[in-house]
Amino acid sequence: MYEHDVIVVGGGGAGLRAAIAAHEEGADVAIVTKLHPVRSHTGAAEGGINAALRDGDSWQDHAYDTMKGSDYLADAPAVDTFAQDAPEEVIQLEHWGMPFSREDDGTVSQRPFGGLSFPRTTYAGAETGHHMLHTLYEQVVKRGIEVYDEWYVSQLAVTDEDDPNERDCHGVVAWDVQSGEIAGFRAHDGVILATGGPGQAYDHTTNAVANTGDGVALAYRAGVPMEDMEMIQFHPTTLPSTGVLISEGVRGEGGILYNSEGERFMFEYGYATNDGELASRDVVARAELTEVQEGRGIEDEYVYLDMRHLGEERITDRLENILHLARDFEGVDGLEEPMPVKPGQHYAMGGIEVDEHGETCIDGLYAAGECACVSLHGGNRLGGNALPELLVYGARAGRHAAGADMPEPKIQTGPEPDAEREDLGVPVGAPGARDAAVDGGAVEHPDSDPKAIVEATAESERARIETLLEREDGVNHADVRSDLQESMTENVNVFREEGALKQALEDIQDARERYQDVYVADKSRTFNTDLQHTIETRNLLDVAEAITMGALARDEFRGAHWRKEHQERKDDEYLKHTLVSWNDGEPELWYRPVILEGDEQTYEPKERSY
């Protein structure tokens, strides 16, 4: 068994920032991550990091834009804290040597981004995430923080009280991908999940193959609700063949969208009469798909994003990476031709329910980054707001886990016994006979000694993996995964209809049933990616189900969530967060009110126009 004060699961932006913060509080920290930290998907972020740094801008404006962007589904305490802390965090990065793009006077450059009332997006070319990830990792190396890289975390060691609000987290179980060793990791003070997004629930996504929603599913099965999962952001500019992202920075710098008639449709068809291409992402994604559906798309699939008029100098200075991406992955020269783009799954606004210290309802269990939902992005995340979130909330989770004295949280967490449960009228959850090998649910513990709990969990994980490896034939997880991805892309995309959502839930049920017979063809203990991907697929099933349940229940139009039958925002009914609780494998859906009262002002829901 390995022991540390704080264990951070995941070595992306959120995990690294959390580890540094906990270390600065004096804790003995370890990072356990399935990829080496520099391979994390934070490295793919292109566009930038928002923070109010300059005269004429203020944290209040940043907070206001964020709340408006969220379509009033964010919690004000989360938004205010975020906007207040972001500047210091960005300057901290600068002090750590981050190679930001610069102005003539040597200060950090900022550019305009969608949905922002001030050009407050700091950036490093179109490779902002790469530089941020490496800068943070450098600081981890400098501090000598221990990293267990290529260790896959597959279970949390949590006590088994009936009420999740009373449970404690004592550690995790992970296996060394290279050797197959399965070990318990005891955390004296806290476990921080920073496992990133669940983009692999879809087949057209900007997310990495490793983004399988592991942390969300682990916390969920341990009893933490998933919050606002239906709020999936579809990015309007991804390359059609691969899903590779073309940064919003292109539109920030003045890039233009055209349909097949050569019309600048954002204006021509009145989708966003003020901001045009720079309207918020949900607005632009719907506009593009509407164009395609009305026959003004190219090859019935995509539209054009044109940056040629910006000139070679400006493009190579600020968007050079985009030229490489368009050339390598779509065969298009962005200096000579417009780039084909279409919407693709991009970001999960929802995730593990946490308060503004990153803590879940389970004592000692934290989450930060894209896997978490403090409720900062609500129904729609503004471009450039995820990276500062990793910094602000990663740091706060790290500090709190390491024992820093922080005030009572204003945001509540945990299942509420009295809340009304919504019945969707469609079967959800684990079907038929339960099978521990493929279920991965919580483990019962004979006694309450933390070490014994970690060891018992490790033991049950060994048995589970043994069983999976012993099966001689059955279903290949890859088939289950690809069917799931297809159904989600087909049925739970930008435009959502009741029938299709129900279809998706049926497909997920089918997938769950087939998964009961899953088997791992590779019997090796050495670098068994077959085993790893099989377990990841199980996590995707839970996450996909919560996304779809939330989407079916929320019969209104808010942020990224559009319902054909309900094309209006229903503030009197839906100023509330969707929560899905595990409830022993029978998911329960319920709601909690949104907090609109902030530090200085109460945010009044207004019509969103751009």
Partner 1 sequence: MSTQTPETETETEQPSSTSPQQRRMEKKQAKKDQREADEAAAANEIQGETVELKVFRYDPEIEGKEEPRFDSFTVPFEKGMTVLDALIYARDEYDSSLTFRHSCRQAVCGSDAFFVNGRQRLGCQTQIADLDGPVRVEPLPHQEVVKDLVVEMDHFYDQMESVDPFFDPDETPDGELEEQRQDRENRENIKLSTRCIWCGACMSSCNIAAGDNKYLGPAAINKAYRFYMDEREGEQKRQERLEIIEDEHGVWRCQTQFSCTNVCPKDIPLTEHIQELKREAVKQNLKFW
Write down the least CB distance from residue 84 to partner 1, Å.
12
Which one of 3, 25, 53, 576 is in contact with partner 1 (CB under 8 A)?
Answer: 53
Name the one range near partner 1 by CB under 8 A: 237-245, 538-546, 562-570, 589-597: 237-245
Site for ligand FAD in 15-34 (CB under 6 A): 15, 32-34
User: How would you write 524-574 as a 3-class SS string?
Assistant: CCCCCHHHHHHHHHHHHHHHHHHHHHHHHHCCCCECCEEECCECCCCHHHH
Write down the least CB distance from residue 449 to partner 1, Å.
35
431 binds, among ligand FAD, partner 1, none (CB under 5 to 8 A by kind): partner 1
Q: What is the DSSP string of 351-400?
A: EEE--TTSB-SSBTEEE-GGGEESSSSTT-PPTTSHHHHHHHHHHHHHHH
Name the one range near partner 1 by CB under 8 A: 135-143, 390-398, 407-415, 570-578: 135-143
Q: Is 255 in the site for ligand FAD (CB under 6 A)?
A: no
Q: Is 101 in the site for partner 1 (CB under 8 A)?
A: yes
DSSP 425: S
Write down the least CB distance from residue 214 to ligand FAD, Å.
3
Which one of 513, 555, 556, 599 is in contact with partner 1 (CB under 8 A)?
Answer: 513
Angle between helix axes 214-222 and 529-553 (nearest 10 degrees) is: 70
Q: Is 67 in the site for ligand FAD (CB under 6 A)?
A: no
Rounded distance, CA 382 to CA 113, Å? Answer: 8
Which one of 4, 23, 41, 62 is in contact with ligand FAD (CB under 6 A)?
Answer: 41
138 binds, among partner 1, ligand FAD, none (CB under 5 to 8 A by kind): partner 1
Which CA distances in Å does 84 have to 47, 88, 263, 290?
21, 8, 41, 38
Rounded distance, CA 173 to CA 448, Å? Answer: 17
Which one of 5, 10, 85, 191 is in contact with ligand FAD (CB under 6 A)?
Answer: 10
452 binds, among partner 1, ligand FAD, none (CB under 5 to 8 A by kind): none
Q: Is 88 in the site for partner 1 (CB under 8 A)?
A: yes
584 exposed, middle or buried (CB, 10 Å; 0-12, 13-18, 19+)? middle
Rounded distance, CA 19 to CA 27, Å? Answer: 9
Closer Cβ to ligand FAD, 176 or 268, answer by number: 176
Q: Is 56 in the site for partner 1 (CB under 8 A)?
A: no
Closer Cβ to partner 1, 17 or 296, answer by number: 17
Site for ligand FAD in 110-139 (CB under 6 A): 128-129
423 binds, among partner 1, ligand FAD, none (CB under 5 to 8 A by kind): partner 1
Q: Is 344 in the site for ligand FAD (CB under 6 A)?
A: no
Best CA proximity match to 6, nearest among 194, 192, 216, 218: 192
Q: Is 134 in the site for partner 1 (CB under 8 A)?
A: yes
Closer Cβ to ligand FAD, 32 or 73, answer by number: 32
Closer Cβ to partner 1, 142 or 564, answer by number: 142
Q: Which residue has the tokens 């339960």?
A: 434
Rounded distance, CA 96 to CA 137, Å? Answer: 11
Q: Which secondary-structure segment (H or E) carries 205?
A: none
Q: Is 430 in the site for ligand FAD (CB under 6 A)?
A: no
Dihedral of alpha carbons 515, 518, 522, 528, sign: positive
Name the one range near partner 1 by CB under 8 A: 58-66, 95-103, 160-168, 453-461: 95-103
390 binds, among ligand FAD, partner 1, none (CB under 5 to 8 A by kind): ligand FAD
Rounded distance, CA 490 to CA 484, Å? Answer: 10
384 binds, among partner 1, ligand FAD, none (CB under 5 to 8 A by kind): ligand FAD
Whether 251 is catalytic is yes
Rounded distance, CA 299 to CA 598, Å? Answer: 47
- Of these residues, 17, 41, 235, 377, which one is catalytic? 235
Q: Which secondary-structure segment (H or E) carries 189?
A: strand 182-193
Q: Is 398 in the site for ligand FAD (CB under 6 A)?
A: no
Q: What is the DSSP string of 260-303?
A: TTS--HHHHTTS-TTTGGGS-HHHHHHHHHHHIIIIISBTTTBE
Residue 454 backbone zone (phi > 0: left; psi -120 to 50: alpha; other: beta)? alpha
Write down the least CB distance from residue 174 to partner 1, Å.
18
Q: Is 12 in the site for ligand FAD (CB under 6 A)?
A: yes
Here the tokens at position 550 are 């939330």
Q: Is 66 in the site for ligand FAD (CB under 6 A)?
A: no
Angle between helix axes 76-95 and 128-143 (nearest 10 degrees) is: 70
Angle between helix axes 76-95 and 59-69 (nearest 10 degrees) is: 120
**Contact call for residues 130 and 149 (beta carbons, < 8 A):** no
Which CA distances in Å does 597 have to 78, 203, 416, 502?
11, 38, 21, 35
Here the tokens at position 133 are 């990830």
Write down the least CB distance from residue 349 to partner 1, Å.
22
Closer Cβ to partner 1, 533 or 608, answer by number: 533
Sheet holding 339-348, edge to edge: 232-238, 339-348, 303-306, 256-258
Considering CB under 8 A, how many residues would be counted as binding partner 1?
80
- Interface pattern 277-316 for partner 1 (x via CB under 8 A): ----------------------------------------
Closer Cβ to ligand FAD, 235 or 296, answer by number: 235
Best CA proximity match to 140, nearest among 48, 25, 15, 9: 15
Here the tokens at position 281 are 């992402």
Which one of 84, 168, 527, 575 is in contact with partner 1 (CB under 8 A)?
Answer: 527
Which one of 370, 455, 542, 588 is in contact with ligand FAD (CB under 6 A)?
Answer: 370
Site for ligand FAD in 178-197 (CB under 6 A): 194-197
237 binds, among partner 1, ligand FAD, none (CB under 5 to 8 A by kind): none
Write down the least CB distance from residue 57 to ligand FAD, Å.
17
Rounded distance, CA 269 to CA 45, Å? Answer: 31
- Of these residues, 17, 221, 251, 346, which one is catalytic? 251
Write down the least CB distance from residue 43 to ligand FAD, Å.
7
Rounded distance, CA 280 to CA 606, Å? Answer: 15
Residues that bind ligand FAD (CB under 6 A): 9-15, 32-35, 37, 40-42, 44-49, 128-129, 152-153, 194-197, 206-207, 210-211, 214, 245, 347, 369-371, 384-387, 390
Residues with active-site annotation: 235, 251
